[in-house]
Each structure stands twice: as C-alpha cells, then as structure tokens.
C-alpha cells in the first residue's frame, strides 16, 4: 500500500515572525521532557513521580531555589561570553580554562597577598573581580591572537588550553599555596567573601542558610551589558558583520584582526569573572575541581539561548535546576540525559526556522 | 524503441511542463521540442526558467506536471542518472570538476568502468581520441587547476560525450569565454551536430544565438513567448522584445563632457595573485573626474587583482594615488575615507553579508558616522530611515528593509551595493563586472546609475568582460592581458576586432 501523502520541506522565503524561535525552542524543551518521560516509563519508572521529585529538588524550597541560582551564575557568565564569540563565528570552547585562570588571578589578591591587611572588603573584592577578568581576558587573548595573526584554529587551541589551565591551577594548590599538603589553599579571609543573603540572617531570619551570593548580580549586569553591545552598539554591528561575512567586513574597512582579539578577550574575561565569583562566593578558596564542567555546559547554554543574552539568563537557570535536581536523583545520569535531549531537540528545531514542513498529496506518476 | 521511430520522432518533446518553486512558478505549462541534429537556442532573462526547464530534462528536478518524451518514448526521470542513461548530458554554468585530478580522472569519475584498478594511459588515449574527433583541444594528463576556464569547459563537454550523450545541454557556455574561445566552441558545436547529436544552447546573448542556432525558443517569466521558430528573419529587436516584453533601448544617453582633474593615478604597480604568481605587471593608468575608463580583458588576466590593490584588499608594489594620496598597501578604510567606492565582482561573497538585513548591508560603510551612529551607539531608527530612503531611490525590490540580503535576486542585490556605494558621494568608483548575470532591465538601470555618477564628476574605473557595455559607457578603454595593460583606445574610435585581438594577446598598441 502506498501512503497518499508525503512530507515536503519548503524553504521559508518570507521573514520569520519574532515569536517563532521562542515557540520552537519551548516546544523542543517540552518534547525533550516528553521523550525522557517515555523512556523512564519504558524502563519501569513513573515519569510523573520522577518529574515531581525533580521539581521539588530544584524549586521545592527557598534553599533549593537559591542553590539553583548559585549553580546558574557561572553558567550565565560563561554562556554570555561564549555567545558573544559565537556571534562572530569564533568557536571559543576554552571557557573552562578561562574560568580556572580567572579564579587563579582573583585568588592571587589574597594568596600573594596583593593588598595590605585591613583593606576594606569593597576594595579587595573589586580588585579580585578585576584580576579575575584580567586573567580570563589574558587567557582568551592567546588563542585570539593566534587566530587573528596566523589563522590557527581556535577550536583546537582553546580546547587544549583548558587542560593547561587546570594543571597550572593544580601546580599552585599542590605546591606553594597548598593548605598543609591538601590540594587546596587555606580558606580565604572573610574580607574576600562575596556577600551572601545568609549574611543578613541576623536581621531577616528567613535568609538563614540561603547561600545565594552577589555573583548572580554580576551575571545579570553582564547580560544587560552584552545586550547593549549586541543590539545597540557599533561594535555589536561589527561583530555581526564579521560573523556573517568576514570578507564583506574587510571590504567595508573593518579591522578583523583587532576584533577577533577583542572578542576573545571579552569572552575570556566573562569566564574569568565566573571563576572569581565561584571562589569568592561559593568555595572561598582555590582548589581542584572548582568547576563542574561549567565551561562546557556554558557552550551548550549559549547555543540553547540562540546567543541571545536574555534567553541565556533563562537557559542557565534551567540548567542550574537540572544540576541541582540531578544531585538528588538516582541514577544521577538522568539529568544529563534530559540535558542532552534538550540540546539535541533545540538545535534540530532550528530546521523549522528555515523550512516549512508541509503534508502534500502525492500526484499520480506517469506510467 | 525501434530504429525507424527516430526518423520521425523528435529528440526531445516536453509537453505542458509545470514546475512550482516556493512562491515562484518557474515553468508554467512549457512546451519544448528539440529536433534531431539541430542547435536549438533557449533564450530568456535571468529567472525566466531556462535553466530550470533544462534541469528538468537532465533529471535534476521532477516537474509537478507534464510529460517528457525522448526519441518518441515517454520517460520519467527520478535522478540525473536516469537522464544520462537516455543519452542526455548537461554542461552546467558552474563546473563540477576536481581541481587536483587530471582531465581523464575527472572524466572517469563516477563511472562503473574502470572498476577498481585504473590503467590511466589507456583511458588517456580514449579521451584524446574523443577530444580530437570533436575539436576539443585539451591535454588528458593535465590537472584541472592548471587549465583555463575555457579548457575546463571542454573537459565538462568531454565528460558528457564520454558518457554517450546524444542530446547536449549547454547552460550559458559562452559567459566565461574569450571571443576566440567562443569561435572554437561554435566549431565544436557544428562538428557535434554533423555527428548526429542534438544541442540545446542556453544564452541571453543575442549575437551568439543568431550566429549559431537553427531554431530558438524564448521564455519569459516561466512561459513560452516564442516556440521553436526558425531564426531566419528574426531581428535582435524582436528577440529582445520576446525576452523582456517591451522594446529595449540599446542606446543610452551619454553626455559629452570634458574630464577634470586626475583622481586615480596608478603608477607601475605589481602584485601577486592568491597562488603567489605574478598577477599585475607594471600597470599604470589614470582616471579623471567625470570620466569612465573601461578595462577590457578575459577573466583572470589581473582585473580582480587590479580592483583589489586600489581598494586596499591586496598588497602591491608601486604607487596608487587617489586625489594625491598614496593608498597602496593601506587598510581598506584608508581608501574608503578618501572617497573611493568599490562595487566588487563577487556580490554575495564580498559585497554583502547574506543573513544580515538590507538595512545592515546598506549602512556597512556608514555605521560609524553621524547620523547613524553617535559615539559608541548605532541609532537603528536613523539606520532604518536611511535604508528606507535608499530602497525607494534605487528601486530595490524587496518585501521590506529587514529582508535578508541573501534572499534578494542578483539585480536587487547589486542595487543594494550600488545604493550603498553611490550614496556616499564617491569621488572614485571601482566597478568590477557590475552587470554580469543580470537581466536586461537591471543592466539598464545599473548602467544609468554609473553614467549619473560620471555626470556628477566621479572618476570611474569600469572593469568588464562585456565589450558592448564598455563601448557604451566608457570614454577610454584599456585592455588587460596577462597582468599587463597592453593598450588603450578611445571608445569612440574603438573597433571590436582590435580590442578582441589585444584581449587574446595577439596585438599590442600604445595609443
């Protein structure tokens, strides 16, 4: 028997309405949970109960919600940085390394120390923020310079530099700055801790135990700044132009070399700031594994957000929730499974932005 | 199929072909008949549906409706392979050859035989014999990248002949050829016909059609406007009317005017091409205010490199003075700031950013100037006003200014580029192939815009392969051959033959 219909893909020629990408992305996320649910049911689980458990683990209490935001903060900063580079078709997948170097440079302020004792908190933290961004920018400069001057593939260099950064970090925490031979530095003085909501517990008892720290504000400010750059500034126009057609950009008189380096540096600076926010807001020392693959998850976050800074806020929140919920559930791989399915479907859903799917009645073929 | 059926059946009979593309009816109930042993010209503007119709015949597209008969036998092609099996061969506008392989290897590519072990010399001989038979001069052992465009085209033709094609479709074969090469091709076509092959010749150049074809079919907007008529008694004016539906003015008003000061002064410039070989050899030229200097030459003789060194896209030795300042080896911005506009050869690859909106493409050279930008900001309302006004002044046909440039037709894309370049009030315009591949209507409006700029006292360097265009627009014509400017003629006294001889390197003159 022949099916009298066939599916045809037709290129979209007219403008897409603004809501279309949002609808397809949300649809893809819903579909991802649906597929995960079906698989859970197939292996004998109760998808509704699992998802309910998931929901409670992530949003069930103020404490859980605060944990989600804490996890989302580095993802947001890194996702913004990667998103900016991706707009220029610069494939910076070195955020993990830039994060570590940022954390390292920020920690130097306390470890060396670079500030006199009794320095005010605001001064110490500001300097740590600047150092973190400087370290990340420096670490973005290297692959950016190599790409711009010698056309060295940035995917390879940024990826490889991640490992260099991790071992660089290890060298110092195992050696000079080790706390009594442990693979970590001594806990920072409280002057180098980012303010937390829990600090206000004496005044507002409801905040006790809430670990939410100031880093999330860095992330939100960065989102606004990146949005301004992308959609309001000259530089944002230049970035899109280079990303769309570097030959046209060169023809229009734009200095591509300089812009590649600058974008890589800003991208790295944001990852470096994430590193600073993590050591001052969460761990309060420099140690091994301060990142749980934030640098790589950030790449995914940027893609899922379609490089839009405000969407990056939402997606990093979703990913923060998946990370927090994943801790509470067995097998813990489930949350990675859902992450993977979401990524796969959201990226596939792009096809709908370029094509219309139509059901067509098959015409009778000539015998 | 019996042998006798060939005698009265036509080689190809396409009836009522309908092909719908999204938003466009590319072929609207088209009939097409190709007789045995004829050269049949298929004419029409860009987008008239010529290539589409022939792609249907070659099995690339499946029509929504209609029938195809080859030698009287009804056929349905599901892929190009089916069409090749029926003896149909198509030479596309863009060649499909592997540059690092030899001619023979390219010809054998994709065939069932040789299966595994290749004895190349044996096949070299076969290819050579075939080439000799049809007057297609080409070295079977040469690598494709070593060949000129004309030679590469011969390889494409050999490819179809080797596969046993009886019906050959040539899609705008002369677009890339020099005058002499065109004559060679015509000779080959005549040999093929005498060998019993039938040929479809797609073109929009009226001269060639009248020279070589037996019959012609004209398409306009997907419909047939002249169906297989004999060429006798058909004038160029009639052809043009069938193609565009109205009389085309072949003369453009070019005012007499006295050129002013020298704007562009290129002095003894040398430059290398992308492969590191010499591309410009001691070139010197001047262009004055209100003057168009045409550069004639066959593609690949250094014209692209000349345009690039002037606009700062390619390093060079020598001096390039624009209004008295040397722009050689400066970044592109330097020449732009000194009033140099550039209409690049590659509209989509260099001249525009494809996914960006028309607005973004129009502000490409103004995004850092008032009123479009204030300090670090871009004022998108101002950019939109600017784009809206250019869209109406230059008659850019598009749904809106936020349409992506990549979705525009060639003519409208070129209008976007011209609007951007001309709106800056340029003192120098370097225009490379500004009308190539455009339809008659668009060509006319682009040529008018260039003449307007001439009247506005801009100095224009017009690089083109269309001699008629150069004669029409230029005040003087210089000819490039192998990176050298081999001669210059006054366009009023110019003679096509002389220029043609200079283009092929057969004649040098110092005027």
CA-CA distance, B362 to B364, in Å (whole number)? 6
Within 10 angstroms of residue A53's Cβ, the number of other Cβ atoms is 15
A88 to each of A40, A83, A85, A252, B367, how far by Cα in Å? 40, 9, 5, 16, 17
- According to DSSP, the residues that pair with B480 across neighbouring strands are B485
Quick one: how far is CA B271 from the chain centroid? 25
CA-CA distance, A295 to A289, in Å (whole number)? 12
The answer to whether the beta carbons of residues B200 and B168 sit under 8 Å apart is yes
The whole-number mean pLDDT for each consecutive block of 10 residues of chain B, a chain of 511 residues, reads: 54 90 79 92 80 90 90 89 90 85 87 73 88 87 83 90 91 77 88 91 77 88 85 76 62 79 94 83 94 87 92 94 93 93 91 93 91 90 94 88 86 92 93 84 88 94 86 91 88 78 70 45
Phi, psi of B296 (to 5 degrees): -95, 160
Closest residue by Cα to residue B194 from B127, B117, B135: B135
Distance spanning both ends of chain A, measured CA to CA: 17
Residue B114, preceding bond cis, omega within 30 degrees? yes
Query: Where are the alpha helices (H) located in chain A, listed in sequence order?
Result: 20-42, 47-59, 62-87, 95-111, 121-150, 154-174, 215-232, 234-244, 246-251, 256-278, 294-304, 309-327, 333-349, 351-354
Q: How large is the average pLDDT for residues A175-190?
A: 89
Both structure tokens of B249:
């003015």
Query: Where are the alpha helices (H) located in A112-153, listed in sequence order?
Result: 121-150
The answer to whether the beta carbons of residues B19 and B64 sit under 8 Å apart is yes
Q: Which residue reads 């008694």 in tokens?
A: B233
Residue B1's pLDDT is 40
Quick one: how far is CA A306 from the chain centroid? 12
Tell me, yes or no, if A257 comes closer than 8 A to chain B by beta carbon: no
CA-CA distance, A293 to B478, in Å (whole number)? 63
B106 to each of B59, B172, B223, how far by Cα in Å? 21, 21, 36
- Contacts of residue A295, defined as CB under 8 A and 6 or more positions apart, other chains included, come to A78, A93, A94, A95, A96, A97, A98, A99, A162, A271
Closest residue by Cα to residue A274 from A10, A38, A95: A95
Residue A93's pLDDT is 94
With an 8 Å Cβ cutoff, the interface of chain B facing chain A consists of 22-23, 64-65, 67, 74, 76, 311-313, 331-333, 336-337, 342, 344, 346, 349-356, 360, 363-365, 367-368, 373, 376-378, 380, 399-400, 402-403, 407
Q: Which of A9, A11, A86, A244 to mutate to test the interface with B (most CBs of B within 10 A)?
A: A244
Q: How large is the average pLDDT for residues A93-107?
A: 96
Within 10 angstroms of residue B464's Cβ, the number of other Cβ atoms is 23
- Contacts of residue B342, defined as CB under 8 A and 6 or more positions apart, other chains included, come to A251, B307, B311, B421, B429, B430, B432
Both structure tokens of B398:
């598009």
What residues of chain B lie within 8 A of the CB of A366, using their CB?
A: 67, 74, 76
Nearest chain B Cα to A256, which residue?
Answer: B331
Q: Which of B14, B16, B22 to mutate to test the interface with A (most CBs of A within 10 A)?
A: B22
Residue among A14, A237, A253 minimizing CB distance to B331? A253
Q: How large is the average pLDDT for residues A301-306?
A: 90
What residues of chain B lie within 8 A of the CB of A235, using their CB?
A: 376
Residue A367's pLDDT is 37
The answer to whether the beta carbons of residues A176 and A109 sit under 8 Å apart is no
What residues of chain A lie within 8 A of the CB of B407, using their CB?
A: 13
pTM of the entire predicted model? 0.77
Residue among B74, B354, B399 minimizing CB distance to A245? B354
Residue B4's pLDDT is 42
- According to DSSP, the residues that pair with B202 across neighbouring strands are B42, B171
Cross-chain Cβ contact B67/A14 below 8 Å: no
Q: How far is A247 from chain B (nearest CA, A)?
A: 5
The answer to whether the beta carbons of residues B437 and B46 sit under 8 Å apart is yes
Residue A14's pLDDT is 67
Task: Identify the structural domains of chain B with CATH numbers, from first to last.
Answer: 1-85+167-173+198-248 (3.40.50.300), 88-165 (no CATH), 251-339+426-511 (3.40.50.300), 350-424 (no CATH)
Residue B252's pLDDT is 67
pLDDT at position A89 over 90:
yes
What's the CA dihedral at A181, A185, A190, A193 to 10 degrees? Answer: -150
User: Cβ-count burial of B186 within 10 angstroms (0-12 exposed, 13-18 middle, 19+ buried)?
Assistant: middle
What residues of chain B lie within 8 A of the CB of A354, using their CB?
A: none
Residue A2's pLDDT is 66
Within 10 angstroms of residue B196's Cβ, the number of other Cβ atoms is 11
Tell me what percent of the residues of chain A surpass a pLDDT of 70: 96
Q: Which residue reads 């126009």 in tokens?
A: A237
Residue among A235, A252, A366 minimizing CB distance to B364? A252
Residue among A13, A237, A366 minimizing CB distance to B367? A237
User: For chain B, how many residues are written?
Assistant: 511
If residue B78 lies in a helix (H) or strand (E), which one and from where to where?
none
For Cα atoms B317, B320, B326, give the angle at the middle one, nearest 5 degrees.
Answer: 100
Give me Rg for the CA atoms of chain B. 25
Cross-chain Cβ contact B378/A232 below 8 Å: yes
pLDDT band at A21, cuts 50/70/90? confident
Write out the DSSP string of B155-218: HHHHHHHHTT-SEEEEESGGGG--HHHHHHHHHHHHHHHHTT-EEEEEES-HHHHHHH-SEEEE
Closest residue by Cα to residue A363 from B76, B65, B55: B65
Q: Which of A248, A249, A350, A361 to mutate to test the interface with B (most CBs of B within 10 A)?
A: A248
If residue B12 lies in a helix (H) or strand (E), which one and from where to where?
strand B12-21
The answer to whether the beta carbons of residues A301 and A219 sit under 8 Å apart is no
Cross-chain Cβ contact B364/A234 below 8 Å: no
Strands B428-432, B325-326: pairing is unpaired
Write out the DSSP string of B166-178: SEEEEESGGGG--
Which is more confidently placed, B441 or A47? A47
If residue B288 lies in a helix (H) or strand (E), which one and from where to where?
strand B278-288
Please tell me what DSSP assigns to residue A186: P
Which is more confidently placed, A62 or B6? A62
For Cα atoms B494, B500, B504, give the angle at the middle one, nearest 5 degrees.
Answer: 140
- Contacts of residue A340, defined as CB under 8 A and 6 or more positions apart, other chains included, come to none
- What ipTM was predicted for this assembly? 0.84
Cross-chain Cβ contact B333/A255 below 8 Å: yes
Residue A84's pLDDT is 96
Each domain of chain A, given as residue ranges in start order, spans 80-303
A203-239: b or e for each residue (b if 16 or more CB lie within 10 Å)? eeeebeebebbbbbebbeebbeebbebbeebbbbbbb
Size of interface A-B (CB pairs under 8 A): 84
CA-CA distance, B57 to B39, in Å (whole number)? 16
- According to DSSP, the residues that pair with A193 across neighbouring strands are none
Closest residue by Cα to residue B101 from B59, B58, B137, B152: B152
Give me Rg for the CA atoms of chain A. 23
Phi, psi of B506 (to 5 degrees): -80, -15
Nearest chain A Cα to B405, which residue?
Answer: A244
Cross-chain Cβ contact A253/B332 below 8 Å: yes
Q: How far is A284 from chain B (nearest CA, A)?
A: 38
Both structure tokens of A249:
């950009």
Strands B24-34, B12-21: pairing is antiparallel
What average pLDDT does chain A have? 90
For Cα atoms A230, B363, A92, give the angle at the middle one, nearest 5 degrees.
Answer: 35
- Contacts of residue A108, defined as CB under 8 A and 6 or more positions apart, other chains included, come to A114, A131
The answer to whether the beta carbons of residues A345 and A31 sit under 8 Å apart is yes
Strands B39-43, B198-203: pairing is parallel
Both structure tokens of A6:
């066939």
Residue among B22, B76, B373 minimizing CB distance to A10? B22
Both structure tokens of A264:
């890589």
Residue among A14, A251, A365 minimizing CB distance to B332? A251
What residues of chain B lie within 8 A of the CB of A227, using their CB?
A: none
């Amino acid at each position: 028997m022949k099916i009298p219909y066939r599916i045809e893909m037709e290129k979209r020629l007219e403008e897409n309405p603004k809501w279309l990408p949002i609808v397809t992305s949300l649809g893809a996320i819903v579909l991802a949970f649906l597929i995960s649910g079906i698989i859970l049911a197939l292996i004998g689980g109760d998808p509704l109960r699992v998802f309910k458990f998931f929901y409670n683990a992530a949003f069930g209490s103020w404490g859980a919600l605060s944990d989600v935001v804490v996890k989302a903060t580095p993802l947001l900063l890194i996702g913004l940085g990667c998103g900016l580079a991706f707009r220029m078709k610069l494939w910076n997948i070195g955020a993990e390394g830039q994060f570590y170097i940022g954390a390292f440079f920020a920690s130097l302020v306390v470890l060396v120390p670079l500030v006199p004792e009794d320095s005010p908190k605001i001064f110490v933290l500001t300097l740590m923020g600047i150092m973190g961004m400087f370290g990340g920018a420096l670490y973005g400069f290297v692959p950016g310079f190599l790409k711009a001057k010698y056309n060295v593939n940035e995917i390879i260099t940024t990826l490889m530099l991640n490992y260099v950064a991790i071992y660089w970090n290890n060298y110092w925490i195992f050696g000079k700055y080790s706390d009594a031979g442990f693979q970590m530095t001594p806990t920072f003085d409280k002057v180098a801790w980012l303010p937390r909501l829990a600090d206000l517990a004496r005044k507002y008892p409801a905040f006790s135990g809430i670990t939410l720290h100031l880093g999330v504000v860095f992330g939100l400010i960065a989102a606004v700044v990146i949005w301004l750059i992308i959609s309001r500034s000259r530089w944002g126009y230049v970035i899109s132009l280079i990303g769309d057609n570097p030959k046209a950009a060169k023809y229009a008189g734009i200095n591509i070399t300089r812009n590649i380096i600058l974008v890589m540096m800003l991208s790295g600076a944001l990852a470096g700031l994430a590193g600073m926010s993590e050591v001052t807001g969460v761990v309060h020392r420099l140690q091994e594994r301060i990142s749980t693959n934030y640098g790589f998850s950030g790449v995914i976050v940027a893609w899922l957000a379609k490089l839009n800074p405000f969407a990056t806020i939402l997606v990093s929140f979703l990913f923060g929730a998946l990370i927090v919920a994943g801790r509470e559930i067995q097998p813990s791989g489930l949350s990675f499974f859902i992450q993977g399915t979401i990524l796969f479907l959201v990226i596939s859903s792009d096809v709908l932005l370029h094509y219309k799917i139509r059901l067509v009645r098959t015409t009778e073929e000539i015998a | 199929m019996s042998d006798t059926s060939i005698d009265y059946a036509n080689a190809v009979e396409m009836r009522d072909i309908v092909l719908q593309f999204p938003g466009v009816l590319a072929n609207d109930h088209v009939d097409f008949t190709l007789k045995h042993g004829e050269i049949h010209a298929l004419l029409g503007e860009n987008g008239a549906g010529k290539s589409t119709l022939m792609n249907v015949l070659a099995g690339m597209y499946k029509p929504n409706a209609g029938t195809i008969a080859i030698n009287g036998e009804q056929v349905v092609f599901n892929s190009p392979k089916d069409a090749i099996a029926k003896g149909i061969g198509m030479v596309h506008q863009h060649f499909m050859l592997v540059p690092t392989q030899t001619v023979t290897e390219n010809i054998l590519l994709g065939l069932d035989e040789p299966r595994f072990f290749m004895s190349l010399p044996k096949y070299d001989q076969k290819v050579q014999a075939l080439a000799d038979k049809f007057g297609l001069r080409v070295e079977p052992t040469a690598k494709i990248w070593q060949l000129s465009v004309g030679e590469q085209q011969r390889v494409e033709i050999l490819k179809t002949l080797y596969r046993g094609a009886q019906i050959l479709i040539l899609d705008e074969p002369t677009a890339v050829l020099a005058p002499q090469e065109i004559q060679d091709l015509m000779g080959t076509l005549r040999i093929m016909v005498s060998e019993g092959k039938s040929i479809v010749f797609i073109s929009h150049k009226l001269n060639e059609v009248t020279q070589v074809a037996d019959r012609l079919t004209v398409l306009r907007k997907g419909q047939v406007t002249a169906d297989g008529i004999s060429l006798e008694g058909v004038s160029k004016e009639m052809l043009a009317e069938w193609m565009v539906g109205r009389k085309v003015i072949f003369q453009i008003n070019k005012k007499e005017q006295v050129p002013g000061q020298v704007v562009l002064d290129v002095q003894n410039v040398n430059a290398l091409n992308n492969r590191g070989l010499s591309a410009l050899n001691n070139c010197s030229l001047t262009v004055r205010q209100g003057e168009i200097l045409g550069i004639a030459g066959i593609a690949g003789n250094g014209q692209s490199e000349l345009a690039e060194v002037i606009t700062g896209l390619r390093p060079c030795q020598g001096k390039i003075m624009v209004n008295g300042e040397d722009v050689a080896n400066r970044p592109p911005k330097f020449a732009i700031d000194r009033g140099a506009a550039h209409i690049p050869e590659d509209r989509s690859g260099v001249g525009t950013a494809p996914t960006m909106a028309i607005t973004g493409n129009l502000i490409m050279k103004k995004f850092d100037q008032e009123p479009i930008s204030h300090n670090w900001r871009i004022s998108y309302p101002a950019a939109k006003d600017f784009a809206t006004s250019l869209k109406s002044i230059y008659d850019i046909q598009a749904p809106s200014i936020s349409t992506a440039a990549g979705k525009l037709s060639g003519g409208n894309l070129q209008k976007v580029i011209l609007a951007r370049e001309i709106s800056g009030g340029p003192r120098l315009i370097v225009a490379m192939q500004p009308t190539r591949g455009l339809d008659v209507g668009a060509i006319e409006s682009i040529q008018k815009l260039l003449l307007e700029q001439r009247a506005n006292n801009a100095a224009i360097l017009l690089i083109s392969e269309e001699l008629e265009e150069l004669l029409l627009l230029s005040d003087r014509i210089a000819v490039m051959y192998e990176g050298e400017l081999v001669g210059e003629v006054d366009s009023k006294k110019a003679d096509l033959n002389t220029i043609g001889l200079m283009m092929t390197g057969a004649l040098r003159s110092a005027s």
